[in-house]
Amino acid sequence: MDWDAVQSYLERLVPERTGELARMEAEGRRSGFPIIGPAAGQFCYVIARILGARFVFEMGSGYGYSTAWFARAVSENGGGVVHHVVWDEELSRQARAHLDALGFGNLVRFTVGEAIDALENSDGNFDLIFNDIDKEAYPRSLEVIGRKLRPGGVLIVDNLLWDGAVLDDSDRTASTRAIREMTRRVFSDPAWEASIVPIRDGLLLATKVSPPPSKPADNRL
Ligand SMILES: C[S@@+](CC[C@H](N)C(=O)[O-])C[C@H]1O[C@@H](n2cnc3c(N)ncnc32)[C@H](O)[C@@H]1O
């Protein structure tokens, strides 16, 4: 099977984007900035809708493209908050302008700073956390994410296939090793139920297992 043809097919199935979102995609093509693209965007939107997500935390945001898909879902779920966090002030400013133009500015909270620290300093209990930070920090981010996601909440992480590098045993670069390490931890930890969806560069989809209901002390009751 032709991998690129499959990816273009998945992309063509996404309903047409118009206006500001279409302009944001054009900006990605022009600048080469690594946005998640329409197929992954639509996937994030559908998951957030199924979950009824109202509180979303995005780690390592860009100029607001993936944020826009989450904001649309949260808006349709009845409103809430989407956190946009990036350490680049100019990207944060651009994202604010795009999300205002899309009419979602009022439900996005913008933070300029390091994303793991920002998550650590948040109140937590998020329905959904999306992680797209520098790959070397993926393993370190997992412990904080586990504490800040509500039981039954969903974690989506981008770049789990890393352009195929994770399959190549001779690739020992720091970013590839970090992605492998995060993948290993999530799949081996009973606190998570996980799968990888091979859209674009591979999305981890995981849910934090809810603790089992406590049994009554006396089971004759
Ligand atoms: C891949 S881009 C995000 C693209 C975005 N998900 C989208 O589709 O629109 C990652 C961004 O997060 C920033 N970043 C990476 N690691 C970060 C971290 N630890 N804290 C804050 N920002 C980070 C990068 O500089 C870059 O601007």
- Res 203: pLDDT: 98
- Please check whether residue 69 is in contact with residue 78, taking contact to mean a CB–CB distance below 8 angstroms: no
* Beta strands in 87-191, from DSSP E residues, in sequence order: 108-112, 126-131, 149-157
CA 55/CA 125 separation, integer angstroms: 8
Asked if pLDDT for residue 68 goes beyond 70, the answer is yes
Ligand 1 pocket test, candidate residues 42, 56, 86, most atoms within 8 A of CB: 86
pLDDT value at residue 80: 98
pLDDT, position 219: 56
183-204 pLDDT, tens digit per residue, is 999 999 999 999 999 999 999 9
Mean pLDDT of the chain: 96
Q: What is the DSSP letter of 202?
A: -
What integer is the mean pLDDT of 28-52?
Answer: 98
- Asked if residue 69 has its Cβ within 6 Å of ligand 1, the reply is no
- How far apart are alpha carbons 58 and 164 in whole angstroms? 24
Q: What is the pLDDT of residue 101?
A: 98
Q: Does ligand 1 lie within 6 Å of residue 62's CB atom?
A: yes
CA of 43 to the centre of ligand 1 (A): 19
Q: How confident is the model at residue 98 (pLDDT cuts 50, 70, 90)?
A: very high
Output phi, psi for 194, to 5 deg: -140, 160
211 pLDDT band, cuts 50/70/90, is confident
Residue 210's pLDDT is 78
CA of 31 to the centre of ligand 1 (A): 15
Q: Whose CA is nearest to atom 13 of ligand 1?
A: 60
Backbone angles phi, psi at 101, to 5 degrees: -65, -30
